[in-house]
Structure 1
Amino acid sequence: MMNLLFGFLAIKLAFGAQLMNCPRNQVKFEKIIGLRPSHDFSGYLLHKQQNHEPVTVECLSKCLSKDDCVSFVVYYNVSECYWYNSRLDAFQENENLIDSGVGWFEKTCLYVTKCDKMWIFERVPGAILIGNNIKTLPNRITRRECQQHCLDETANPCKSVKFRIFDEPNSTETMGICTLSDTDRHLMPNSYRVSSYNEEYFENQCSNVTTNEFCAYEEYENAILGHVDMKYDGKSKNECEEVCENTTIFNCRGYSTTTINSTQVCLIHSEDSKLHGPKSLIEIDGARYYEKARCLNITVDCTETYITIRYQPEISFGGKIYMNGYSENLECYVLGNGKQMITLKMPLFGNQCGISEAKSTNNQNRTLLSGTMVLQYNPLIQTQGDRLIKVGCIFSNESKIILGTGVNFTNSLFPNRGTTIVNSTTLQPTVEMRIVDFYTQKEVSDTQIGQELQLIIEIKPADGPYDIWAGHLIAMTEDGQDSILLLDDKGCPTNLNIFPSLIKVVSNDTRKLTGNFQAFKFTSSAIVRFSVIVQFCSIHCIPVDCGNNIVSGGRKKREIEPLMAETTSGTTVKQINKHQYDNQGRNKTVQMPLEFILVVRNTKISPDRLIYGENNKILVAGYDLVTNEVCIDYSLLIGIIITWVLTQIILISCGLLMIRRYKRFYQQENTTQSLEELHKNFGLGFSNLEPRRVHWADNGDFT
């Protein structure tokens, strides 16, 4: 016990001296994920917030200014943090408690340049990243020394570290073997896995992250991430996403939007759901959680008979690319080959690889051929990190438009709604299509037949040099088997009873096309996919006269240029080609497809009153689907009560008659059995009562 106490004090003094000798600007934090001290080590309250307000930033600031504060633990569920005057090494590490609901922050001394993160490394005990090692340092060193080597690495960027612990009896700090890596768990999700307790994963928060490295978000419906680091009130979804993108004090991995006391709330997260799995998500009706996802360098090309998909891996890829449902068809899959480009060439027609065909309903002869591709990191099994990508082409008499609808997770394996794939170059302007409730102007993804909706196509920035026009708006089922053309190639409506022409709205703050309509659905599916082709014009798009006093907010058809774009339901497309000009300097337009997925359900319909007879007597007045209450006419109710009473009387009478008959039968049977038993007791039976012949001793016979 004394040896343990002296060891504890030696570690504490050693680390205290280390921090004392550390320049003030080099005192940094390290975040330890998934652990907290055991109950044997009690901390001191550092900060507390009411109403579950985030405390991470405040706790970091207070501990940094407090010399005695060596480490602290954030309890996210109660918005409290407690500080300790000892570091993690001072505790018996094998006695620390595994707890996914906390964040443990510990002071360290690191020399960092050009990095203003509040914590420099994230440490995950019992985890490891397989492969892509830069180098392994030859000697056993401390965690801090290992992390400093990662920060000082110049030949190759060090994004993460694998640290294997070894016992050093004479050392006051934890020692181990340090291996540097140029990738992290976000780039290689399939290589990040649980490992033994003596292995740890360090992630460098100061590694250079390019602007296009995370260019999309996966959406989780009716949920938020439980670990919240910052909160903003009154922020819309787009504003919340902008806050996440511009956060510099830590790496924002995602954001959540929800409503608290009628106020739209924006929650910022430094972690993601991949760390602790689905259990880290909290179900809240109406909430949305958006998690950053990496870009994929995927391109799609079409000829008259083939569709070609090319994937250029950033790292060595040994998985498989195939069309969903056709993983064993030789024409429909291809295996990875390290860092070499992977090409999957498939026939467009014949439905050999699940390529479905949808044709327009007018005489424009436009055809959509599309399918679902799976990018699977393991050649045999599917994992959470795999992607589903919609790819396809639109053919017409005049042009061929390449379509990529992005990542769309649609089965139970993938619980979220998906992400957007954007090429490495992000150019302005940006364009977004969404569908909102006409009255509340809130974006909807699930509605009922007949609800008043508004389709909005908006270009940003509003004061930019570009204008937009939209045409060839198609509504189709999820599988593309059924479809209807809402706007033709000129942008004119095909059926005003279903969808109107688009109206252009221009102001200092917005430049958009809007169309008001009532929700509708196909009989074969509740999912309605809206697909539209957007054109960009320089300065101004000329409105189109559709006849019958109908004007569409677009332009007359000029020379167009095919463009590949990759979008998904309700997401923003963040890339277009550079503006083109012909030889005469005249304006040329650029085309881009957008898509939005809407779930439309049948309206709750109450039946009419049930009328009977020539006098129109009301038998049933109505039925409330919400409360399951039936409204019945008074005379009918009396009749039902009388019928019920008579039925009960008949049932009771029948029961009494049956009981009386059974009682009489039981008494008769009981009497017979009693007589037989009595005769047996006296040695008499029914046969003994018959006449018998008796023989006497004198041989005389008497009867």
Structure 2
Amino acid sequence: MDKFRVNEISGPIKEIMKVGRTRSEWSCSNGFITFELITGFVYSASEDTLDMIPGTLKLTDCLRFCQENSTCQSINFETGLCVLFTSSATQRPGALKTSHFPVFTMYAHKICLLGTRPCNRVWMFERVIAHELRDLTRKRYSATSREACMEKCLQEHSFQCRSANFDSSTGECAISDMDRHSVPESRYFAPSGDKIEYLENNCVDEGVRLCEFKKVNGRIVKTVDAVFENITSLDECRKMCISVPYRCHSFDMSDTASRVCRLSHHSSASLTHIEDPYLETRGVATYELSACYNVTIHCEAKEMVAKVTSNKLFNGKVYAKKRPNTCVQDVVNRLDFEIRMSYNDLHCDVQQQGFGQFSNDIVIQHHDMIVTNQDLGLSVQCQYDLSNRSIANGVQLEVSGEVDTSGSQSATVSSPNVTMTITDRSGEDILSAQVGDPLALQFDIVDQNSPYEIFVRELVAMDGVDNSEILLIDSLGCPTDVSIMGALEKVDGNGKVLRAPFAAFKFPTSEIVRFKALVTPCLPSCEPAKCTSKYFDGELRSHDSLGRRRRELAEQNELLVVQSIQVTDKFGFERSERKLSDFDETSYERQNDANSQSVEDESSCVNIIGLIIACSLFLLAQLILLLAWTYVWQRRKSKLAEGAANSADMLYTNMSMIY
């Protein structure tokens, strides 16, 4: 491969390259030497090649090779190859050209910075030619060179300077507390005029960080900053990204079997000016840094202050998890924010663990209404040294004068993932049922170690065909008709699992019944709604249901859950694919039960009644005959008593007449 196959840079960019040549790297006695990095460019000066070091898997190693060699002035780096040069684009701007290799190249050269102290980073600034960060300038200075503009950024004390735009035609240096990674939209970083360059500070100190990464499937960066071997897991690769001595913004570990972890200080936000920077293929993924948070706890005399800094503009809220409505701070487009929690303020409910020890739990929530898996929960603590200190007003919580802090702690709490399932009364999941089957609708927080509980409201059953619907649990969290669905109750006293009993039902036009509900996670527990419902005996009874009163709902966080079930009826209708024209009268009466079943049942009822009537008439006739025979028999005895002279023939004749 020809390592120096390049395209020529246009004339205006050549003029930009000349800026900064007034300060020579060869004489930096009053300052220090560091590196300026340019991604997507290659230095073509084969006659000035000092060394080629194949097998170099880390950009930092390549830069150190140059740093340790006094004759080295610049480097080209591709993953696996480091090239050292005795000259740089500062002296030879025409030799710096856009790279068009299958993998893009990163170029860096030595620069001299004055009036500031070096940071613990191998390169301190990255330059993007003919680009700028728009509309986010905090301060403007006049600078004689790019290096002077960089120094203005490093020397800024009123805020942390993350980037600068330097206009070589006017000498204007516009510094900002934002960079390509901290802004929420790519529209802020855009091509500029020929004279403006973007300078990004790699010395930004973000301290101990709580970081979240998002997965981007189907692509990996062609050129990375570092390749680490024998990495056993994706989590270990992630930790490598957070701990390296530069601002790592993405990593990939596409084949865990090979145990190779690749890191990059780039992400999609910083590669917009590079043509085709990704290798796109199925089965791979890049994990890009979504946001990082650094939380510090200031333990003051009367309150605990949690200060949060982020690497990306934050919109959302921070609140005490036990008091999400009364101890809350709304945040709009901020990189840093805080929440103050007074020790004697019931609205924040700070817990006293012991003498001089206080703690509370806070939640950093991105969305204004709902808790998502991007949110963070932190447990913060303050421990005071109260020895030899006076207590004001006899209250232990207020300490006069300055207060010494002896430590703070933090821990991450996972946000909840809620599911809705349809079960039988024993809790076993089911997919189909018949009308009237005893069922239950169950809501679960998947992680039983989660600190959240849940409540449910606006539970609706919908027809799977024509979207007819019936409200089962209203906006207050109460059942609308307990004969259809009962109140939501905790399962075994666990607020993470709720269950509402109901008998299976269906809509006339479909066998599919869809359930939809709003579920709200709450910390630490959910207050039940007070409901009044009419029961089967017609009496109104009060009961609890796991919902929340309307005035409290506006400030809560809601999740939408949906589930479906197939419900069939019990009428026993037989299905036939035969056409009606194929039926004879007999088969039609037998097979079309939908029309004939009730008629047949009615005929059966008529036959049974007729049989009963016939039997009754028969018994009545027998009774009448018996009474008649008894009457005749009594008369016969009377006649026998009156006259014994009657002969046997006469008696026989009389009996014959009776029968």
The interval holding the TM-score normalised by the smaller chain is 0.3 to 0.5
Rg comparison, structure with higher value:
2
After TM superposition, the score normalised by the length of structure 2 is 0.45
Q: TM-score, normalised by structure 1?
A: 0.42
